[in-house]
Amino acid sequence: MPNKAQPHVALLASPGMEHLIPIIELGKRMVSHHEFHVTIFFVASDHASITSLLKSPTSDNLDIVALPFVDISGLIEPNTHLVTKLLEFGMLKYVFVTTKAWFLAVIFHSSSLDKQVILEGHVKGRKPLKIPGCKSLSFKDTLESLHDIDSLDESEFIGTKMTKSNGILINTWQDLECSTIEALRDNNYLGGLIKVPIYPIGPLVRQEGKQVLDKQAKQWLDKQPIESVIYVSFGSGGTLSAKQMTELACGLEQSQQKFIWGVRPPSNNALGSYFTIGKNDGDGTPDYLPQGFFTRAKDIGLVIPMWAPQAEILRHPSVGGFLSHCGWNSTLESITNGVPMIAWPLYAEQKMNAAMLTEDFEIAVRPKVSTTEEIVGRGEIEAMVRMMIADKEGHAMKNIVKELKQNAEKALDKGGSSYNSLSQVAQDCLHHVQV
């Protein structure tokens, strides 16, 4: 007879919303689909958004525990053996990579190479990093972590630690990154470096528990024609320069398309953190947006200061495009709602995401500039918004992304590839507690 003890899974989220969101969704799935007891540990922060996250419905079998903030930078030093410590408790330990398989391939591949080769060829020589079995990484989309010896050491360390786990879960799905996942799963890949099983279990995206959009915004959105609104947001931490904010505001205005903009003060605004809407212009326009913007844009746009209920907005049928910084959560939320994107990456792996969305899936358009120091002009913004909402090119992207949405749903449904992957992990855990 099998042991009836309910397996208890501890999920430890790295700091940052981008990790906590998929971790919570993973926890919920382990409870609802696999009858586990789950405890999620995360590092406490006073971020209002985390409070809203934790309000979403949970179950008796899901505990969420806030840990006090401590300096964990020492944990990534090579002499700290966190994973090895877990071994001493006789636990199975998995790594959940909350982004895509291609990112993982870059980390492993770069850790298998001579660092000088990366620095000379890819960074100084600006040659693409050729990753066996996967899409090459062009220099314009490269990661900051490949830019110097210290960061490369850190990537190598992370890669090595991952190979000591019992498996690597990734927030992607088989059909989305088929060849990359196959490459990672090949026992001989990168000279047999990886060895541990790879489990694509996504897309795990945030499910808004209850309506959080305020009444006025909801009414405004309800009255717009289907797929006529572009939603603009640069994620939980992204900000633009004051000059870029002006261009964006003017571009949106000139496009004459409907928009919802989750606005944050610009990165170089000294008043930034003291900002309140209504402080400056007579109509409430803050000082870093063009004068009178609120008045001129009132019939076509809605501005939400600081934090917008993104999951709910993207799910609304009036939304037909997402101008996004391409964080992986935002990317998955857009795909799973069938919304094409204007891919405007700012930092980290967002540029890789933008490259995938435009070059591989053809569900996004991207500004021509390749660094955040360059400014995307209002004319280009206007053209991209119009194209996305009003042109046939935008419609073609909508059709493709809707197919991807269905494909993602299939992967997560019972019997689908991601469902089966997580079931395999669950079975292994169950087996482990029974022996």
Residue ranges in contact with ligand UDP by CB under 6 A: 17-18, 21, 206, 233, 235-238, 262, 307-308, 310-311, 327-330, 333
Between 263 and 389, CB nearer to ligand UDP: 263
The CB-of-133 to ligand UDP minimum distance in angstroms stands at: 25
Between 159 and 238, CB nearer to ligand UDP: 238
Give dist(CA 154, CA 146) in Å, integer.
10
C-alpha torsion 402→403→404→408, nearest 10: 100
Between 18 and 253, CB nearer to ligand UDP: 18
Nearest one of 265, 283, 282 to 274, comparing CA atoms = 265
Buried b (16+ CB within 10 A) or exposed e, 323-347: bbbbbbbbbbbbbbbbbbbbbbbbe
Kindly give the interhelix angle for 149-162 and 101-112, rounded to the nearest 10 degrees: 110
The CB-of-167 to ligand UDP minimum distance in angstroms stands at: 23
Per the CB < 8 A criterion, the answer to whether 327 and 18 are in contact is yes
The CB-of-25 to ligand UDP minimum distance in angstroms stands at: 10
Between 12 and 383, CB nearer to ligand UDP: 12
Give dist(CA 260, CA 230) in Å, integer.
6
The CB-of-98 to ligand UDP minimum distance in angstroms stands at: 8
The CB-of-205 to ligand UDP minimum distance in angstroms stands at: 7
Name the region of 195 (left: φ>0; alpha: ψ -120 to 50; beta: rest). Answer: left
The CB-of-377 to ligand UDP minimum distance in angstroms stands at: 24
CA 146, 235, 17, 264 torsion-angle sign = positive
Between 255 and 329, CB nearer to ligand UDP: 329
Between 236 and 421, CB nearer to ligand UDP: 236
Residues whose CB falls within 8 Å of the CB of residue 234, separated by 6 or more in sequence, listed in order: 240, 262, 264, 324, 325, 344, 346
Between 321 and 327, CB nearer to ligand UDP: 327
For the chain, the first-to-last Cα distance in angstroms comes to 12
Please give the residue whose beta carbon sits closest to ligand UDP in the complex: 327
The CB-of-310 to ligand UDP minimum distance in angstroms stands at: 3
Per the CB < 8 A criterion, the answer to whether 163 and 194 are in contact is yes
